[in-house]
Amino acid sequence: AQSVTQPDIHITVSEGASLELRCNYSYGATPYLFWYVQSPGQGLQLLLKYFSGDTLVQGIKGFEAEFKRSQSSFNLRKPSVHWSDAAEYFCAVGSGGYNKLIFGAGTRLAVHP
């Protein structure tokens, strides 16, 4: 069965520092991959997605992610973090003909001024 692992439960960075959130997936075929962000008490907002093509995808709010098939990874990056980026981030993989979207456990990001 497909699965998604986000190894880091909590990450703290200073404002202006770079950020990388890790995501590893388990799935036999080429997956559909997503990153969502959730601010406290809110629903989920899509940051970016990968279906095919260029393995480096750009998203909203200055985020990007790179699909690496050899490593089964889809890590999220941002060159300079803003205090408003403090939130919980979820990686997700779509499989089974993309009938289902399976989420990782999430990484909570704190940003120090």
Partner 1 sequence: NAGVTQTPKFRVLKTGQSMTLLCAQDMNHEYMYWYRQDPGMGLRLIHYSVGEGTTAKGEVPDGYNVSRLKKQNFLLGLESAAPSQTSVYFCASRPREPGELFFGEGSRLTVL
How far apart are CB 69 and partner 1 at their closest, in Å?
Answer: 18
Interacting residue with partner 1 among 25, 27, 34, 67 (CB under 8 A): 34
Pattern 49-78, binding to partner 1, x per CB under 8 A? x-x---------------------------
Structure token digits, residue 30: 């080429």
Tell me 80's DSSP state.
S
Asked whether the beta carbons of 90 and 35 are under 8 A apart, the reply is yes
How far apart are CB 12 and partner 1 at their closest, in Å?
Answer: 17
Residue 81 or 89 having the CB closest to partner 1: 89
SS3 category, 35: strand
SS3 category, 104: coil
